């Protein structure tokens, strides 16, 4: 109801803040390894995506944390059929996942780091992924666009003001996809 009401009111963006990766990250036909994500609840995610498509609810940005890594995702209804990575066609929303400031990064777990290249091949809607560094994400939201900047720090064990902008992605109003800037 909140998404519908926001669309009807003409609000520029619909921001959905939540804890686990919303975009599909498990390739079709593969058992879900990360059941504490929306991949573990495919019917619920499908209902949300069906609502966005059916009611033409646009300008949806999902803001995610709690996976201790940096991601920039298009959110397609179907990651294999009906989505074109080059143009973003078929994406119903965008998702920005912020890294952890001090918790262990996702890819610090044995075995997970090695799966990252496979994930990128199987999930072309994942536009950016860094699971090894600490940091934060800064959003600049205007009526016309959302700009997301991922910043990472060299270490959390040594006091320093050093940081590096690692990625910048933009979603223009009405596009429903992320573009690297």
SS (H, E, C) the chain: CHHHHHHHHCCCCEEEEECCCCCCCCCCCCCCCCCCCHHHCHHHHHHHHHHHHHCCCCCEEEEECCCCCEEEEEEECCCCCCCCCCCCCCEEEEEEECCCCCCCCHHHCCCHHHHHHHHHHHCCCEEEEECCCEEEEEEEECCCEEEEEEEEECCCCCCCCCCEEEEEEEEECCCCCCEEC
Q: Which residue has the higher pLDDT, 110 or 138?
A: 138
25 vs 59, more confident: 59
Using pLDDT thresholds of 50, 70 and 90, give the confidence band for residue 126: very high
Most confident of 12-16, 130-134, 159-163: 12-16
Decide: 119 and 24 in contact? Cβ < 8 Å.
no
Residue 147 phi, psi (nearest 5): -115, 125
pLDDT at 95 over 80: yes
**Could you give the percent of the chain with pLDDT greater than 90?**
73
Work out the pLDDT band at 136, boundaries 50, 70, 90: very high
The answer to whether residue 36 scores a pLDDT higher than 90 is no
Q: Which residue has the higher pLDDT, 96 or 28?
A: 96
Residue 13 has what pLDDT? 98
Q: Global pTM?
A: 0.94
Rounded average pLDDT over 165-178: 98
Parallel, antiparallel or unpaired: strands 70-76 and 91-97:
antiparallel
Kind and range of the H or E run holding 140: strand 134-141
Q: What confidence tens digit (pLDDT) does each residue in 145-162 have?
A: 999 999 999 988 888 899
Q: Please tell me the predicted confidence (pLDDT) of residue 110.
A: 74
| Tens-digit pLDDT profile for residues 37-84 | 899 999 999 999 999 999 999 999 999 998 899 999 999 988 888 899
What confidence score (pLDDT) does residue 100 get?
93
């Amino acid at each position: 109801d909140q998404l519908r009401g926001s669309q009807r009111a003409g609000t520029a963006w619909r921001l959905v803040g939540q804890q686990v990766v919303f975009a599909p990250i498990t390739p079709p036909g593969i058992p879900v390894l990360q059941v504490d994500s929306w991949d573990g609840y495919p019917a619920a995610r499908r209902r949300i995506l069906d609502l966005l498509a059916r009611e033409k609810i646009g300008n949806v940005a999902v803001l995610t944390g709690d996976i201790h890594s940096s991601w920039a995702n298009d959110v397609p209804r179907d990651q294999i059929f009906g989505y074109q990575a080059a143009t973003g066609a078929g994406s119903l929303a965008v998702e920005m996942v912020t890294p952890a400031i001090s918790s262990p990064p996702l890819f610090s777990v044995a075995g997970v780091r090695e799966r990252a290249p496979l994930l990128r091949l199987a999930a072309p809607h994942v536009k950016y992924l860094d699971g090894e560094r600490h940091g934060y994400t800064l959003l600049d939201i205007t009526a016309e666009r959302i700009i997301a900047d991922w910043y990472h720090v060299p270490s959390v064990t040594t006091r320093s003001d050093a940081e590096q902008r690692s990625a910048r992605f933009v979603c223009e109003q009405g596009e429903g996809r992320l573009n690297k800037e």
